[in-house]
Amino acid sequence: MNLNKAESLALVTAIASGVDAGSSVEVAVFPPSVYLDSVIAAANGILVGAQNVSEKENGAMTGEISCQMLTDLGATLVILGHSERRAIMRETSGDVNLKAKQVIGSGLTPLVCIGEVLEEREAGRTMEVVLQQCAESLAGFSEQDAGQTVIAYEPVWAIGTGKVATPEQAEEVHAAIRAWLSQQFGEAVSQSIRILYGGSVKPDNAAELLGQLNIDGALVGGASLKAGSFLGIVAAAGQLSAV
């Protein structure tokens, strides 16, 4: 819930102009829903997604936004189950599952967020919590459904705190998620699914994080509010993809 309309347009314009046209890095932005239409019009090739969506197709759901509305505008992705929505709005993995099915059925790409809080990590429950969230969020998915899904691991204790999971800590969880996906949907599908890392990603740590075997990209928070810092992360990804 940052930036007004003019600031949002200035940001996406700067990002779009700063991304190398020949880059293999896929770049997406997720503005507040009230600015989606304007940002999509100004995106110039940058993918645009929504921060949330309703689990209902349509109807008497005052204040909600449907997948049909998002596709009508030209959005292509939707973030689901972000840690703030889980913690503040009390959304559950069951809620995420219903939304994800609606999103996939509408031809959009769900970006499903999972992650543990500090108390769970300190108690040694990281894998238990993360894999349970995976199981509940992707319950009833076919191999095709899973293949259309992006997963973002965001250790809640590393969001907006300045703390960052070490590359080794992040990779350990990403590898466990990949192994779980392989068990559930097969090795080919698990390798095709992008697993992003989110948690205080910045230009100065992006290369080391993105260089890990099972980290396929980043879900960027505060660093995405300034074109320079966000483009620094994109550049780090681009350098790695070129190797």
Give, for 186, the enclosing helix (H) or strand (E): none
Q: Which two tokens stand for residue 201?
A: 């990603």
Residues noted as catalytic: 82, 154
**Tokens 């076919």 found at:** 142
Three-class SS state of 29: strand
Per the CB < 8 A criterion, the answer to whether 151 and 177 are in contact is yes
Among 96, 101, 103, CA closest to 142 = 101
Contact 45, 29 (CB under 8 A): no
Give the position of tokens 């600031």: 7
Two tokens at 191?
A: 């390798």
Question: Which amino acid would we find at residue 42?
Answer: A
Look-up of token digits 């590393």: 158
Longest dimension (CA), the chain: 51
